[in-house]
Amino acid sequence: MRRDLRAHDNAALHAALSSSEQVICVFVYDRTILDALPRMDRRVAFIHASVAEAGANLARLGAKLVALEGDPTSVIPDLARRLDAGRVFANDDYEPSARRRDAAIGEALAREGRALLLSKDQVLLHKDEVRSKAGTPYTRFTPYYNAWLQRLGQDPQALSDYDPAPLKARFGAPLEGRSNIPLAELGFDEVDLEGLSLYPGTSGGRRVLDEFIAKADDYLALRNTLALAATSGLDIHLRFGTLSIREIFRELGKRTDVHKASVAGWIREVCWREYFSQLLYHVPRVADGPYLQKYACLDWVKGDLGAQRLAAWQNAATGYPIVDAAMTQLNTTGAMHNRARLVAGSFLVKTLGVDWRIGEAYFALKLNDYDQASNNGNLQWVASTGADAQPPYRIFNPSSQSKNYDPDAEYIKHWLPALESIEARHLHEPWKRKEPIPDYPAPIVDYAASVEECKQRYRAVGPVPAV
């Protein structure tokens, strides 16, 4: 088990039970990942609690989930050798580092006559299942979306429900070892997950899904309103697989009391997740550089000025309240509204002129639901360096974004309570206020000047179309 922390509707687990005499369930705390993280990491705490719940759910089926620690490229082959296991089953992962890990595990197993078998689980359609008529991967979203919808409609297995209960007799004798490892022993601090509205495990995923179904009717109309919790909130559960994407689609399909258009709007957003996933799979170089390779030589702001601008962005001290509120939310909770991610990302890249890869790395460190494909795809989208990205002249204006999606400055005042007494109109454009806002920084850059600076940066690489 990896980013699929659940017993029910787990494709790899079902594949193992369907074709094996005995099945042993294992989770490895990967030190190659954990060793780079700070002691207080919300995601590790979420994973830890989800592993505990997955173990409890497997125990009800007569199985035991054993938690191990180390480098999976050695831990898994060693365990397979000790158990004399002929096959190792896992769900596929499409990130370049995960593919390298799985290749190493597969090679180590093959040298001893064993096999690694991977199943599709974290997405509905993957790899080569959605291709153009020419047989090539899609690089533009709308054609991909149309083909994705068509393929889903033609594939009766896409939303299969993999129930392990009928096959529970195939769980092998419990493996000796612990069902989990204390967080402190792993080198991490406890986190008040509930205080952050993070509900781990399948039970947490079901809770969030039920809450979303109850408000799904308003999703399309309200999803961009920053002060409202109108998005699904399912990102972290999809990221760590505490709930299957198939179950979510099955449950939404049962509802006849929600507007189809609103649910369809959410499904389109899910398709962006799958689009970015297949893009990273087919073009893994985007993990480290621009999809549009001509932008590899963009002249980003570097040195002391770049460091100063980056620090202001990271520390919510840009003087642009909508950006600072978004970064405060991220730094405080590890969450960030989807619209705020685009605003904050665009501000870093196009208004401050800082390399999008630096922003991606910061999001990777802070986001509870960090997913490399989606994070990379969205940052390259706002940076105009990605596949089907916004044009270079499209620059998110923080004041108009603030007026449109937080008109009464409720979101700003919630995350920046020191500004609670300031009129909303001054929080959209504080530089127009006669007197500076007390104890709040002046804007780090002049927006109009930054727009021209941004256009010049992209013009140096190639023509920038007129608006």
Q: Tell me the three-class secondary structure of 395-436, residue by residue.
A: CCCHHHHHHHHCCCCHHHHHHCHHHCCCCHHHHHCHHHCCCC
pLDDT value at position 65? 96
Nearest to 279 by CA among 160, 158, 148, 394: 148
pLDDT of 258 reads 55
* Single-letter amino acid, residue 62: G
Q: How many CB atoms lie within 10 A of CB 432?
A: 9
The whole-number pLDDT of residue 467 equals 46
- Give the C-alpha separation, 85 to 26, whole Å: 13
**Residue 259: predicted pLDDT:** 61
Residue whose C-alpha is closest to residue 323's, from 356, 303, 345: 345
Judge whether 236 and 369 are in contact, CB under 8 Å.
Answer: yes
Rounded to 5 degrees, what are φ and ψ at 265? -65, -40
DSSP per residue over 333-345, as a string? HS---HHHHHHHH
Q: Tell me the torsion sign for CA atoms 36, 42, 43, 47.
A: positive
List the end-to-end C-alpha distance of the chain, in Å, as a whole number.
49
* pTM for the structure as a whole: 0.95
Nearest to 453 by CA among 395, 398, 380, 388: 395
Q: What distance in Å separates the CA atoms of residue 350 and residue 348, rounded to the nearest whole number? A: 6
Q: Is 119 helix (H, G, I), strand (E, B) or coil?
A: strand
Cβ contact 281:127 at 8 Å: yes
Q: What is the pLDDT of residue 463?
A: 73
Low-confidence ranges of the chain (pLDDT < 70): 255-259, 464-467
Q: Residues 355, 359, 364, 369: what is their CA dihedral angle, to the nearest 10 degrees?
A: -130
| CB atoms closer than 10 angstroms to residue 126 | 16
298: closest CA among 464, 443, 445, 96?
Answer: 464
One-letter identity of residue 13: L
Residue 350 DSSP symbol: I
29 φ, ψ (degrees, to nearest 5): -75, 110
175 DSSP 8-state letter: P
Q: What is the pLDDT of residue 261?
A: 84
